[in-house]
Structure 1
Amino acid sequence: MMSAEQQRSIPGYDYGSDELAASPVTLEDLELLKQAVLFTGEDERYLRMAGDVLESRTEQVLDVWYGFVGGHPHLLHYFTDTTTGEPDAEYLARVRERFAQWILDTCRRPYDQAWLDYQHEIALRHTDKKNRTDGALGTPPLVPLRYLIAFVHPLTATIRPFLAEGGHPADEVEKMHGAWFKAVTLQAALWSHPYAREGRF
Structure 2
Amino acid sequence: MPVSSCGLRRLELSVAEPELSVDFFAGVLGWTVIAEPGGSFTGWVGDRLATHVVAGEEGWRIFFGGDEPRELKENSFVDGGRVLHGPWAPPPRHGEPCWVEFMSGEPDDEYWTRELGWETRPGTEEFVLFTSARHGDPRPVAGRLKTTRSPGWQTYFAIDDVAAACAKVSELDGRVLLEPTTVPTGLIASVEGPHGGACVLLEQPKGWGGTWSS
TM-score where L is the length of structure 2: 0.26
Q: Which has the higher helix share?
A: 1
Q: Which has the higher strand share?
A: 2
Q: Which structure has more RCO (C-alpha within 8 Å, separation ≥ 6)?
A: 1
TM-score where L is the length of structure 1: 0.27
